[in-house]
Amino acid sequence: MKLREDEVMVAGRDCPIRTAVIRPLGDEPRPGVLLYTDIFQLTESTLRSARRIAGAGFVVCVPEIYPRGPLAGVALEFDDEGKRAGLAGAAATTTEQFDADRIAVLDHMQTRDDVTNLFAAGFCIGGHLAFRAALDPRVEATVCFYPTGLHNGALGADPDAGSLAAAATIRGRLMVVFGAQDPHVPAGARVQILAGLYAAGHDDLELHVYSGGEHAFMRDIGPRHDPVLTDLALTEALAFLRR
């Protein structure tokens, strides 16, 4: 399926939000996916994942998660310097800012003539942000790929954003993907997340834990990438969103 890619400056509450919009060619309205990046922002690696989702028939909107300050407009390298900058960008961003940006992007998607239903997905910190997007009643289904900080609430500048504690307010469907060898979301954290979701009434969620999968196993750059698990995770995610 051939794709069209555009850069849109979404009007945020206090700043513009650079957003990549990727969709199949043609005018047919399609379901929209708000796709959150990891701490490295709009890298080609994440955009390749976005293209795969768009190629399955979705309008994919990928916003920068740090639209304020020195990282606005910057795609970071997958090295120590890039990691430090990405973590600093997270530490400088409050949950309230993340939430305000999410509302702005969903508002934009809702006004687009080419978008029907609203879905969300994300990787790493973006998996946590996707979970918070699920708190919006407009979002009908959400896929969280190895969400960091969800078990203890840590998100950006806030030691406890209360995301898991708010799970009972989620009305849409949920899918969560983990790698079994992820030190950022180890077995105990995964149990804590699952217990919290079950306690909140989400006992019909879809859960995938991939044996051998490391943190960021879907990032197609670096030694942690597992192409087989990536294909499995994307196939399951697309099937879940289509249901």
The residues annotated with a catalytic role in the active site are 124, 182, 215
**Contact yes or no for 149/156 (Cβ under 8 A):** no
**Contact yes or no for 37/10 (Cβ under 8 A):** no
Q: Where are the alpha helices (DSSP H) in the chain?
A: 44-55, 80-91, 95-111, 125-134, 187-199, 227-242
Cα angle, residue 146 at apex, residues 141 and 148 outer, rounded to 5°: 105
**Contact yes or no for 150/163 (Cβ under 8 A):** yes
Dist CA 36 CA 34 (whole Å) = 7
